[in-house]
Structure 1
Amino acid sequence: MYSPTPDDWREANRARWDERVAIHTASDFYDLDAFRAGKDALRAFELAEVGDVTGKSLLHLQCHIGLDTLSWARHGAAHVVGLDFSEPAVDAARGLARELGFTPDRAAFVAADVHDAAEAVPDSSYDIVYTGIGALNWLPDTRRWAEIAAALVAPGGFLYLAEFHPLTDCLDDATGSTITYDYFSRDAWVDETPGTYADLEAPTVHNRSVEWQHPVGDVVSALAAAGLRIEFLHEHDASLFQRFAALERHADGFHRFPSDRPRIPLMYSIKASRPAAG
């Protein structure tokens, strides 16, 4: 249900994520055995749009258990830092880094709220600031987020964001064919659904979550206002999840509407750069 932002939103969300770390690390969804064996956690469009990261520093905001972060290190980033507000998630990420042979100077993880990132991360700026899919909906204010993230982009560097398209949150849950919810709503969405996307049947206790919907225009405008130059905004007709029953899984692992239905954007990505010094 939509409601004004509750005072305990951060604590409620942290308790929810803390509890789900153990479920996620044991799940087939994350398949840590395959990841340890070399499976890439990044999506093909992200690799193509970010480009070669060899020798670069990369900061991953809201990194969860660090699979995307460590994948960037595997692709040649010289130094990656993952930040998440869940200490159990950061502990899991650090354990994975050790198992894969990454020393802290190659892959470090920090437990801190994203709003405190500037004070928490080891360096003042990074060649790439990365935010992966399913992160912005946990933050109430995109303008504040953009200011924090942009300040951590080094001159000549860029921010890259991949995210679920907010249009999907406006469609009816059953078919994804009817506009049911307000695209421009600024209210919090409070939910108490048990389980987790990685295991829908998992028994859980901390089920209350508080999320927000952010129109794409707000995100782009916030990044521009924070001093970054928008290089591109790409919209994608595929989703990582079967968000609606009508979505069909394709050979590339993405879910799309059937070919006889009009396409809509299900995800989007943005690259925004900081001009080089001088």
Structure 2
Amino acid sequence: MRKHTGPNDWRETNRARWDERVAIHTASDFYDQERFRRVRDVIRDFETAEVGDVTGRSLLHLQCHFGQDTLSWAHRGAARVVGLDFSEPAVEAARELAAGLGYGPDRAAFVAADVYDAAEAVPDASYDIVYTGIGALNWLPDLERWADAAASLVAPGGFLYLAEFHPLGDALDDETGARIVHDYFNQDAWVDEVPGTYTDFEAPTVNNRSVEWQHPLGDVVSAVAGAGLRIDFLHEHDMTMFQRFAALRRGDDGYYRFPGDRPRVPLMYSLRASRPR
């Protein structure tokens, strides 16, 4: 497995950025908390098909932000959900949201901890489903450590499910998405100083430095398999969740794709890996 490099303060830097943005996100139209309180469900259709029925099962959501996805699985029938995030303000917001929906800590619990320390931080020894993704892995430098932590929490007969943005997108030019302009196998951290946030690019913010990494698809699959799980499937998708490239067009289903006269490339992927009984 390739070794990624980056500044030693990456965790503190990223936590400060995310802590500041929680209040912006919870107030945004992008997350629309009022609508979520009514419908209680933001899970994507392809995830619904691939995860399957969660009724009566326990589910752990790693890197859960302020818990909309986590609580959606509770609404779908999961017997117990636990969300973990390294941002204390995010976890507090998730607990408030859960309480407002009538979920007590026995049904929906949230823990503030680093994802690498998940096995020691969460309240249960294992879960039927460990769920994660949608902009999560890019914040982590060590995929093997992440996979080991996640796999250690999958119960026998359970599985890890990951839905994520495809790493090919990070190699393409931002305008057209038609040219390879960045190194797909880059091991160095991306250190940036972009103000605002994806819910409001004009929002006034102070903690703007961020540290991220790109992970080729082969590294993700190898890390999960190396952690002792059996790969059930790896699906690549021709759509994404937002206007990643100016050339993308939003379809009636809400996803963004390249126009039909262009060759398709993968923009997202999903993976499920199970632990045999």
Asked whether the two chains share a fold, i.e. TM above 0.5, the reply is: yes
Q: Please tell me the root mean square deviation across aligned C-alpha atoms, in Å.
A: 0.8
Q: Which residue of 1 aligns with 2:191?
A: 190
Q: CA deviation at 1:101?
A: 0.3
- Give yes or no for contact 2:40–2:75 (8 Å, CA) kept in 1: no
- In 2, distance between residues paired with 1:95 and 1:253? 28
* Residue 171 of structure 2: aligned partner: 170
**Equivalents in 2 of 1:153, 1:100: separation in Å?**
27
Amino acid at match of 1:178: R
* 1:160 lines up with 2:152 in the alignment: no
Pair 1:52 & 2:70 matched: no
For the residues of structure 1 that align with 2:102 and 2:60, how far apart are their CA atoms?
19
Deviation at 1:40, TM superposition (A): 1.9
Shift of 1:132: 2.5
8 Å Cα contact 2:158-2:275 kept in structure 1: yes
- Give the distance between the partners of 1:41 and 1:104, measured in 2 at CA: 21
Per-residue CA deviation, residues 85-107 of structure 1 (Å, 9 max, x unaligned), is 00000000000000000011110
Q: Which secondary structure does the structure 2 equivalent of 1:37 belong to?
A: helix
Indicate the residue corresponding to 1:6 in structure 2: 7
Per-residue CA deviations over 1:10-43 (Å, capped at 9, x if unaligned) read 0000000000000000000000000001152110
How far 1:153 moved relative to its partner? 0.2
- Structure 1 position 84 matched with structure 2 position 85: yes
Give, in whole Å, the separation in 2 of the partners of 1:174 and 1:49: 31
Give the superposition deviation at 1:251.
1.0
Q: CA deviation at 1:4?
A: 4.1
State TM-score, norm by structure 1.
0.97
Where does 1:102-121 land on structure 2 (aligned, <5 Å)? Answer: 102-121=103-122
**In the alignment, what sits opposite 1:131?**
132
- CA apart distance, 1:158: 0.2
Q: In the alignment, is the contact (CA less than 8 A) between 2:5 and 2:141 conserved in 1?
A: no
Alpha-carbon separation, structure 1, partners of 2:20 and 2:252: 32
The residue identity in structure 1 corresponding to 2:25 is H
Give the Cα–Cα distance (whole angstroms) in 2 for the partners of residues 41 and 132 of structure 1: 14
Distance 1:274 1:166 in 2: 26
SS of corresponding position for 1:242: coil
For structure 1, the 5+ residue unaligned runs are none
1:255 Cα offset (Å):
0.3
- 3-state SS of paired residue (1:65): coil
Equivalence for 2:62: 61
Is 2:204 the counterpart of 1:203? yes
Q: Which amino acid aligns with 1:120?
A: A
* Cα deviation code 1:150-177 (max 9, x no counterpart): 0000000000000000000000112111
The 4+ residue runs of structure 1 with deviation greater than 3 A are none
Partner of 1:259: 260
Deviations 1:41-66 (A, max 9, x none): 11000011000000000000000010
Consecutive unaligned residues of structure 2, counting only runs of 5 or more, are none
**Aligned partner of residue 180 in structure 1, secondary structure:** coil
Give the TM-score taking structure 2 as reference length.
0.98
Instruction: State the Cα deviation string for residues 112-168 of structure 1 (Å, max 9, x = none).
Output: 000110110000100000002100000001111001100000000000000000000
Q: Read off the aligned partner of 2:105 and give its amino acid letter.
A: P
Map 1:145-156 → 2, pairs under 5 A: 145-156=146-157
The CA distance in 2 between the partners of 1:220 and 1:132, in whole Å, is 14
**Shift in CA distance, 121/234, structure 1 to aligned 2, threshold 3 Å:** same
The match for 2:226 is: 225
